[in-house]
Structure 1
């Protein structure tokens, strides 16, 4: 899968130094100008040294500025896509809804581009071989952890979800090398979730981490790192579209596991359906 430099910049942004952020800010705001600049021109506009531009390119995984520019040019958004973040107070309700839907669609498309197939395969194998799976998420990630627990439990896997900070820590401390801990954090910096994954790793459990930021604290603890990519609108700082992308990612993991365990999954689903039919009118 070909790299997308603009998505990589967004993912690495929180971990960048000041000079790197200046370069990223200019490129992400005016990519059309950046692709036609020299190193000297970009360094002048960003207010950094020429050498900082070269180091920035290498941080993103490119050999030099020319290679970076070519990649940016390939991944420039179409004009109609640039409206996604421009939700304003003057917008009508239907216009706001249209932009929110478009933002969620874009998050799904961008996340599929940054999803590493090798990391996805590794995560599926870890889940298939786990004696016990625990999902950790607090705040807005708590509902994702609970939903994942419910889905995997229904197909017969030994799972649990912890969303209370204290219970996350205690539960993680009971894991061992036969277990898998799944940490969900959009920023990758949620202290309670990161700590739970740290404890799980100390107990030799395998770790799967779902985040939007490549060099975040939780990403550094992952045996399998699954990235999502979102660009939050002005009025959506709580990562609304990130949750949409993470739901799709968790559904992908669930479906991959279900396909691999097809016969037992069908049996479990039939049993659950029969039980749940009693609750329906």
Structure 2
């Protein structure tokens, strides 16, 4: 049941004020997905907390998540591009849709993220002697970004988007190594095989993937991202942003966990890089 059908089905069970919100949305669903919570509240003649209560009644995590699910129910989108965009959209409309979808998707991931699993992942990374980041396709770009983040830390870091090199690295891994495998679907056979190879050698496998996927099940620890994006049909957009943001979370946790002495080392790295850049333009003074 899509969101429009869910609203219609539950219409009679809603409170008087919540029903006003539902009727305003059903009257102009395309406009609702681009409205702010304040604007929708004014159009329905209710308070903003009422709109939030309505969104939770519909089984969503809040207004941004509700708008994302409503947008997905309005159209299947343009295949091979994105579910939220129609082929006749103007540049203004599809630009707004992409930003709205990105913000709503990140908010959904933030709300559903298992912070205890993140904390455990940071423990594993800080205790490792070597870290490897592997992904294929769009996830390879995320793995490369992770390598750039962790390369400035005083721990050996490996990255490769070549499956042969990935296999050799996993075969040669050890108990003190952490292998980070990144895949939105978690159904890429090669990455699931890598997880098995690494674990056979005693290495810790950290997966950034979808809940319940073969990769999540084959990992030592899985950080699962709740991103309703079918990358079999559409370009990976929100899922990639969610993965990149989670890498930032892990890198920040790594930095804080290692303490002040470690951050002094980062300061020296930054100082060494400073000579490679031009100075900032001085600000004009009156």
TM-score surpassing 0.5?
yes
Task: Name the residue aligned to 2:228.
Answer: 231
Q: 1:111 touches 1:227 (CA, 8 Å); kept in 2? A: no
- Aligned-pair CA distance for 1:264: 3.3
Q: Which residue of 2 aligns with 1:259?
A: 256
State the match for 2:154 in structure 1: 156
Partner in structure 2 of residue 73 of structure 1: 58
Residues 80/198 of structure 1: CA separation in 2 closer, same or farther (3 Å cut): closer
Contact 2:211 2:226 in 1 (8 A): no
Q: Aligned residue for 1:178?
A: 176
User: How much does 1:249 deviate?
Assistant: 0.5
Residue 8 (structure 1) aligns with: none
Structure possessing the higher relative contact order (Cα contacts under 8 Å, 6 or more residues apart): 1
Secondary structure at the counterpart of residue 30 of structure 1: helix
- Contact 2:211–2:225 (CA under 8 A) maintained in structure 1: no
How many residues are aligned here?
223
Query: 1:219 is matched with which residue?
Result: 216
Show structure 2 runs of 5+ residues with no match: 13-54, 73-82, 279-286
Q: Which of 9, 28, 32 does residue 7 from structure 2 map onto?
A: 32
Find the structure with the greater CA-based Rg: 2
Structure 1 unaligned regions, length at least 5: 1-25, 38-69
- Identify if the C-alpha distance between structure 1 residues 77 and 275 changes in structure 2 by more than 3 Å, giving closer, same or farther: closer
Q: Which of 227, 241, 244 does residue 241 from structure 2 map onto?
A: 244
Q: What residue is the counterpart of 1:191 in the other structure?
A: 189
TM-score (ref. length: structure 2): 0.70
Cα-to-partner distance string for 1:60-106 (whole Å, 9 max, x where unaligned): xxxxxxxxxx9863427657542365421221112111111111111
Query: SS of 1:75's equivalent?
Result: coil
Q: 1:107 aligns with which of 98, 105, 108?
A: 105
CA distance in 1 between counterparts of 2:62 and 2:232 reads: 21
Q: Alpha carbons of 1:90 and 1:159: their partners in 2 closer, same or farther (altered >3 Å)?
A: same
Q: Taking structure 1 as reference, are residues 34 and 256 closer, same or farther at Cα in structure 2, changes over 3 Å only?
A: farther
Give the match for residue 52 of structure 1: none
Deviations 1:133-190 (A, max 9, x none): 1111111111111111121120222211121111110001111111111100011012
Go from structure 1 to structure 2 and tell me whether the alpha carbon gap of 1:235 and 1:92 turns closer, same or farther (over 3 Å shift). farther
